[in-house]
Structure 1
Amino acid sequence: MGEMEWSDLPKELLPMIGKSLETRVDVLRFRSGCLIKVEESNPGELSLFDPLSNSRIRSSRTLNPKTLNLLNCRIVELTKACALSFFCPDGCRSEAGRNHESTTKAITGVDKVVMFPNSPWTSADECAIFVLFLDGKLGFAKYGDEQLTPVSVWSPEFDDIIVYKGQFYVVDRLGIVSWIDCSSLKLVQYSPPLCGLGEQKHLVESGGALYVLDRYFDGERRIQLDNNFSVRVHNCPKTVGFQVYRLDEEWGQWIREKSLGDKAFG
């Protein structure tokens, strides 16, 4: 049997499906119809990606980036992410001395970019960014800076960075969460070490609480970069499981979550 679009289903089936939904997450998924990742590389140029596999959606009858107008869709924005790229203006030359057209290229070796404030009402010259590289190093820049300032601290290897309660927070590979003073680039320890045995830590904010997802792999994760942040050795083992921990800020301890209920972390 071939695939069928939701809009082609008989209308009498929709109430029957709706009555069988048990949780709030099931209802949201059913009402949304689809969950997509929209990437805007240049103003007006949209590309669609699967949010789980991050594979690009080429085209379909209902999702075509050439005809999709987000102003005509009833959408709910779940989250927003930034990417760091290099813009080469008209007339710039490559190392070989050849002219080429203006283009935007991704910078290799970058794992994550976080900007704050991330608001359409904020002027660009008021923003600051932190760049997390694949080898765990951290760089900082404000609007107008020509290069990143390395954040040299006692723990040079970080796994994740987010904005939480209007502040930059990082987690290192021991599971210690710290917040960053942007004026001095010094770190202030915010949590005790996490006693998880996973190989990679991820920070998540949900419902005003701070969580760490401890990821387990089926092998060793090895990453090595050269001086130009190009990946030379990059071993990507498969993910085999997660453990979720919530920070009890009142008691200053990690609490292992046995169930997320109707929540879903992506």
Structure 2
Amino acid sequence: MLGLTFNLGLILHPFWSMSQPTDIFVLRLLTVKKSPMDTVKWSNLPKELWPIIGKFLHSRIDVLRFRSVCSIWRSSRPPFQRPPAPPRPALRFSPAAAGEAKSEALLFQSTTYRMESLTDDDRCCSSQSKPWLMQLEEDLNSGEMRLLHPVTNSPLRYSPNSTSMVFNLLDFRLVELRKSHGLKFGKNNVDLKSVHKLVVMPCDHLGFGDECVMFMLYNEGKLGFARFGDEKLTHVDEQNSHYDDIIVYKDQCYVVDKWGTISWVSSALQVIQFSPPLCGFGGRKYLVECRDDLYVVDQFFEKVSYHHERGMLRYQGRDLDNELIFGQHHNSRSEADAVDFKVYKLDQEWGKWINVRNLGDQVFILSNDVSFSVSAREFAGVKGNCIFFVERVASPGRAKRDCSRVFNLEDGRIRNLASWCGSQMVQPPSTWLGPD
């Protein structure tokens, strides 16, 4: 079956979504009280307010919905102009990794939304009426999009029982939660397996001027840097090739190594220690931002064996770090079964780690591209204090594939996310899309 692709350029609706703090500003404008029992109608608001509100709309969906309401709104905000696509990465890749004589990597951007139904029907208790997470992946050069599972990042496909092949965003309100990036081979849409995590720093960040730059973790823990257009990857911090995760936190690039030490990368490509070592005994560390704080999630495996070679590999006499030869490494940790998780919060004021035993209403999602947190209060019927993660499993007669799991901090149990009571949080309506 084919993956779901579509063009958002044709979607219109008189509602829009904005993230904090923009939506607070707009809501204050729209709820000016006339009396204790009445509010100002949208149509009666001063015309001078609409251009001001329109300036705070930055996504294509928001602009389309705003302009579709009426002629006054349409004239107060110009059409959305797609920002120019960044130059394609000039890094060279091994032909063996893509099955082609010449392989070109393209930059993809993924956005995770919280989908909320716009049809208020208290009598309806189906999964379609409850909020859920949706991930849209976009080719920044062609603009083509497709739906992905928000945990495994696997493409969602049409359900065999679907009666409609149309996904109508008019029925939902989209709330943007986070963005992530990844490199793929353009023609066959194959992930670069040896690039484990990738972050893109916007222009004017880290003192790089108007150039976009990438930091990535590759080849089992090395930290790399490249400007768009660079033909070679710069290996950052040659003294440490054991980094587990990378994140953009407060406009800076942060990494965590296998010992749980968090560091940030300066504009001079210096790795500066930010936290004391955690000294966790797990097999893999994840960085998660939650309510402006940094957390480290330590994942424990049943068995971990490392078979890959550290240091410099060579391919036909060429340098691995300059050629990025993919397909030569195997992440053995992804094949091991997870048995436990520990969560730690960094007390930045005192420079110490706090063992967190209860996440409250928070849900940590450790996805393949970037880890993030959401509040269970925003999803009906979902309890917090749990961790979603990805695990490779083998099905009878099928190759191993990524499946979503949930770890409950309260009882320490690991379950299949699809059978968990809050699984509708990451599953689209079953009437038109297949499950994970």
TM-score, with normalisation over the residues of structure 1? Answer: 0.73
Q: Percent identity?
A: 42
Contact 2:185–2:191 (8 Å) recurs in 1: yes
Residues 1:200 and 2:284 aligned together: yes
Measure, in 2, the Cα distance between the counterparts of 1:46 and 1:167.
28
Question: What's the CA shift string for 1:69-107, capped at 9, x where partnerless?
Answer: 6577421122111001345xxxxxxxxxxxxxx666533
Measure, in 2, the Cα distance between the counterparts of 1:62 and 1:47.
20
Greater RCO between the two (CA within 8 Å, min separation 6)? 2
| TM-aligned CA distance change 1:233 to 1:161, over 3 Å | closer
Contact 2:198–2:217 (8 Å) recurs in 1: yes
1:172 equivalent among 245, 250, 257: 257
Query: Which residue of structure 2 lines up, in the alignment, with residue 39 of structure 1?
Result: 137
Contact 1:223–1:231 (8 Å) recurs in 2: no
Q: Secondary structure at the match of 2:362?
A: coil
| TM-aligned CA distance change 1:180 to 1:69, over 3 Å | farther
Contact 1:153–1:186 (8 Å) recurs in 2: no
Structure 2: runs of 5 or more not aligned: 1-116, 314-319, 366-436
Query: Which residue of structure 1 lines up, in the alignment, with residue 123 of structure 2?
Result: 13
Partner amino acid, structure 2, of 1:239: A
Contact 1:135–1:223 (8 Å) recurs in 2: no
Q: Within 5 A, what are the aligned runs for 1:4-153?
A: 11=121, 13-14=123-124, 32-41=130-139, 43-60=142-159, 61=162, 67-68=166-167, 73-86=172-185, 105-117=190-202, 125-153=210-238
Measure, in 2, the Cα distance between the counterparts of 1:68 and 1:30.
12
Measure, in 2, the Cα distance between the counterparts of 1:78 and 1:104.
24
Measure, in 1, the Cα distance between the counterparts of 2:183 and 2:275.
29
Query: Which residue of structure 2 lines up, in the alignment, with residue 162 of structure 1?
Result: 247
Residues 1:242 and 2:326 aligned together: no
Contact 1:130–1:138 (8 Å) recurs in 2: yes
Deviation of 1:55 after TM superposition, in Å, equals: 3.3
Q: Which has the larger radius of gyration?
A: 2
Query: Which residue of structure 2 lines up, in the alignment, with residue 211 of structure 1?
Result: 295
Question: What's the CA shift string for 1:147-177, capped at 9, x where partnerless?
Answer: 2111133222100111111111111111111
2:266 equivalent among 157, 172, 181: 181
Q: Secondary structure at the match of 1:205?
A: strand
TM-score, with normalisation over the residues of structure 2? Answer: 0.46
Deviation of 1:232 after TM superposition, in Å, equals: 4.2
Contact 1:192–1:253 (8 Å) recurs in 2: yes
Partner amino acid, structure 2, of 1:260: L
Contact 2:194–2:329 (8 Å) recurs in 1: no
Partner amino acid, structure 2, of 1:47: R
Residues 1:229 and 2:326 aligned together: yes
| TM-aligned CA distance change 1:55 to 1:36, over 3 Å | same
Q: When the two structures are aligned, how many residues end up with a matched partner?
A: 228
Contact 2:261–2:276 (8 Å) recurs in 1: yes
Question: What's the CA shift string for 1:170-202, capped at 9, x where partnerless?
Answer: 11111111111122x111111000032111001
Partner amino acid, structure 2, of 1:144: G
Structure 1: runs of 5 or more not aligned: 1-6, 19-28, 88-101
Deviation of 1:145 after TM superposition, in Å, equals: 1.6
Q: Larger helix proportion, structure 1 or 2?
A: 2
The alignment yields a C-alpha RMSD, in angstroms, of 3.4
Partner amino acid, structure 2, of 1:178: S
Partner amino acid, structure 2, of 1:218: E
Measure, in 2, the Cα distance between the counterparts of 1:63 and 1:259.
42
Partner amino acid, structure 2, of 1:264: V
